[in-house]
Amino acid sequence: MNIHSTSHTKQNSLRKGIQPATLERIISYLKNSEETSHTCESLSAELSLSRVSIRRYLNYLVEINFLSNSIDYSTGGRPSIIYHMKKQ
């Protein structure tokens, strides 16, 4: 019973639409990547997830201060949001 209540509590602490397994997959990739900066597009290609899903998870990680972000205006078109790992 403890296992289920712990899992249920963890699930409730995440924002709607954020799945623990997917979040862990993204965090694991970010921690093990040699790159320090990522875009939604690059992570989408690497993890085979949609850009919209990746953006939702990255924005969640920014909200909980796991990542920071900045805007790159030098792309020549639409600005790109760059996500950076915070020093732990």
Model confidence band, residue 75 (pLDDT cutoffs 50, 70, 90) = confident
What does the pLDDT read at residue 12? 54
For 10-68, write each residue's pLDDT tens digit: 545 788 899 999 999 999 999 999 999 999 999 999 999 999 999 999 999 999 999 99
Model confidence band, residue 88 (pLDDT cutoffs 50, 70, 90) = low
Confidence check: pLDDT of 80 > 60: yes
Q: Please give the structure tokens belonging to residue 68.
A: 């920071």
Which alpha helices (H) appear in the chain, and where do they start and end? 2-13, 20-32, 40-47, 51-63
Sorted by where each starts, the structural domains of the chain and their CATH numbers stand as: 2-85 (1.10.10.10)
Kindly list the distances between the CA atom of residue 31 and the CA atoms of 24, 35, 57, in Å, as whole numbers in the listed order. Answer: 10, 9, 15
